[in-house]
Amino acid sequence: MEPIIREAKPEDKPFIEEIARLTWGGEDYLARVFDEWVRDGNFYVLELEGKVIGTAKLTLLPKRVGWMEGLRVHPDYRGRGFGRMLHNFIVSKGKELAEEGKIDALEFATYFLNRESIAMAKKNGFKIVKRYYIMGKAVEEIKPSKPSDSTIASLEELEYEKYIPVGWKFVHKVPEALEWLKEKAIIKECNGAKFMMPKDSESAFVPFRLSKSYVEQLLPCMAQEALNANQKYIEIMVPEERKELLEPLKELGFEVWDNPKEPNVLVFRRRFE
């Protein structure tokens, strides 16, 4: 039987939960966001012989961007071209949305060791437009403290250029991003400093300001939120142009994942003419 790609349905959830349990040591966020992604639409599954073995999602972001995420293949079915099939399907969906005048470009982020995904992207005309270092610190090393709820009044509160990291999504810093953040991000305050987390994906934390002292101020509250989400690490994204922060953050106990010489998170973009 040939595999088919179709829109995800509520009854697919057990299959998605199985894939999530077998991905990233059981820490995959996919099962947690399944219901919301089904409601949001543009969420697809790959079905083979009655079993869902893969997923892919296309999310609309500010600045008319179609964001590609959630591409997964069940471990038992990897190495058979299903990942490429899902990638190409989402690219074709992006073309359709561009023809309908809904988006101008497709974007996505991936880890630098995901060579297959990078190769597929380059073959389909994607180019790297931004690079980050993802750093992590073990939660167990920190005494947690409960943060208070907060809000964001202006994008100027965020010390990021061009893109704002929100988990593993990277949102263009354009005026409409403010309302998007108010809807899609959880904003907390800790000792007068602010950070945010995405509502619908993996919880890399986003300090509003990038400095050793500011991040240190946030650590107890980020630790509490990580514990609430059953996360073992606090993860933050450091833009390539702020590389000078790596050593100060290492002094706080953060480590760059896999310790590469170059940034380890790549943001890709393909514009539709």
Do residues 17 and 138 share a domain? no
Model confidence, pTM: 0.92
In a domain, 257, yes or no: yes
Nearest Cα to Cα of residue 30 among 43, 49, 47, 11: 43
Q: What is the pLDDT of residue 117?
A: 87
Indicate the pairing of strand 265-271 with strand 169-172: unpaired
pLDDT single digits (tens) 151-204: 999 999 999 999 999 988 999 999 999 999 999 999 999 989 999 999 876 668
pLDDT single digits (tens) 200-218: 766 689 999 999 999 999 9
Instruction: Enter the tokens of residue 260.
Output: 């590469």
Return the DSSP state at 205: B
Do residues 181 and 246 share a domain? yes
Do residues 179 and 248 share a domain? yes
Give SS3 for 45: strand
CA–CA dist 142, 94 (Å, integer)? 43
Question: Residues of the chain with pLDDT > 90: what percent?
Answer: 76
Q: What is the pLDDT of residue 29?
A: 80
Q: Domain of residue 251: give its range.
A: 131-265
CATH of residue 231: 3.40.630.30
Task: Give me the number of domains the chain comprises.
Answer: 2
